[in-house]
Amino acid sequence: MITTRQLERRLAVITNWGVAGSFGLGLIQTGFGDGNVPIGLAGFGLIAAGFVSQVIVNKLYSSRFSRGEIAFGIAAFGIAVLTFIFAWLFDPAFDGADMAIGISGFAGLIGCFLIYLIARYGLKGSFSMFHRAGEPS
């Protein structure tokens, strides 16, 4: 049975993404739709802020990203990147502003993730973590 502390952490995570995620995705959508680079980047900035907030929540609750959260995060990021690439390749209305938003935004998110890994596990530890993850159990 889930404890009160676990429930509170879950609440913090969902609340955080409820605001940062909804406003962030909306702004990204408007940024791409209107070709408005500042608005699109503000959306990516909110997603990055949501990620940083979750790191803080993890710290406060002495926990790490759960497997479900990691899976969800990677899947969502992967789908978003693939959608961006397909739109770039096949959407005739895709222009320079869209490219600027997408490339800067995704680069920023990847940067955040790398900074987190290095801060959390150290430079060597981050590589070792991936190395270990690839080994047969």
Partner 1 sequence: MSEAAVWLLAFVAIYLAYCVYWGAASGRLAVSADDFFLADRSLPPWIFVLAATAASFSGWFFLGHTGLISADGFQFAQLSLCAVTVPLTGVVFLKRQWLLGKRYGYVTPGDMFADYFQSETMRLLVVFIALIFAVPFVAMQLSASGMLIWILSDGAVGPRVACWVLAAVLFLYVCIGGFRSVAYVATLQGLLLAAGLAATGLVAYGKLGGVAAFSDALALLGTTDIGPWGQTAEGYNANLVIPGVIQFTDGLGLETPVGGPWTAAMALSYCFALMGIQAAPAFTIWAFACRNAKGFAPQQVWASAAAMGLLLVFFAVLVGIGAQFLGASPAVTDGGLSLSPWLSDAAGDAPGLLVVHFIHGLAADNPWFNGLLAVCGLAALQAMIALNLLAAGVILSRDFYKRYLNPAADDRSLTLYGRVCLGLVLIAALLVASYMPSTESELGALALPFAFQFWPALAAVCWLPWLTRQGVVSGLFVGLAAVVFTEPFGESIANFFGFSLPWGRWPWTIHSAGWGIFFNLLLCLTVSAATRGGADRNHRGAYHAFLTEAAGLTAQQRMLRPTAWVIVLAWLFFALGPGAVFGNDVFGAPNAGIGAWVLGVPSLWAWQILWWALGVLMIWFLAYRMGMSTDSGGMRASGVVFEPPRLPDTPVADWRNWFWVAVVGLSLIAAAHWMFAR
- Give the footprint of partner 1 on this chain (CB under 8 A): 1-2, 4, 7-8, 10-12, 14-15, 18-19, 22-23, 26, 29-30, 34
Nearest distance in Å: CB 116, partner 1: 21
Nearer to partner 1, 33 or 125 (CB): 33
For the chain, the 3-state helix, strand and coil shares in percent, each to the nearest 5, are 85, 0, 15
Nearest distance in Å: CB 55, partner 1: 16
Nearer to partner 1, 23 or 94 (CB): 23
Nearest distance in Å: CB 11, partner 1: 5
How many other CB atoms are found less than 10 A from the CB of residue 100? Answer: 15
Q: Print the SS3 string covering 36-58.
A: CHHHHHHHHHHHHHHHHHHHHHH
State the residue for tokens 């680079």: 37
Nearest distance in Å: CB 19, partner 1: 5
Nearer to partner 1, 26 or 122 (CB): 26
Q: How far apart are CA 92 and CA 105, in angstroms?
A: 21
Q: How far apart are CA 28 and CA 102, in angstroms?
A: 9
Nearer to partner 1, 53 or 126 (CB): 53
- Say what angle helices 96-121 and 67-90 make with each other, to 10 degrees: 160
Nearest distance in Å: CB 117, partner 1: 26
Nearer to partner 1, 18 or 122 (CB): 18
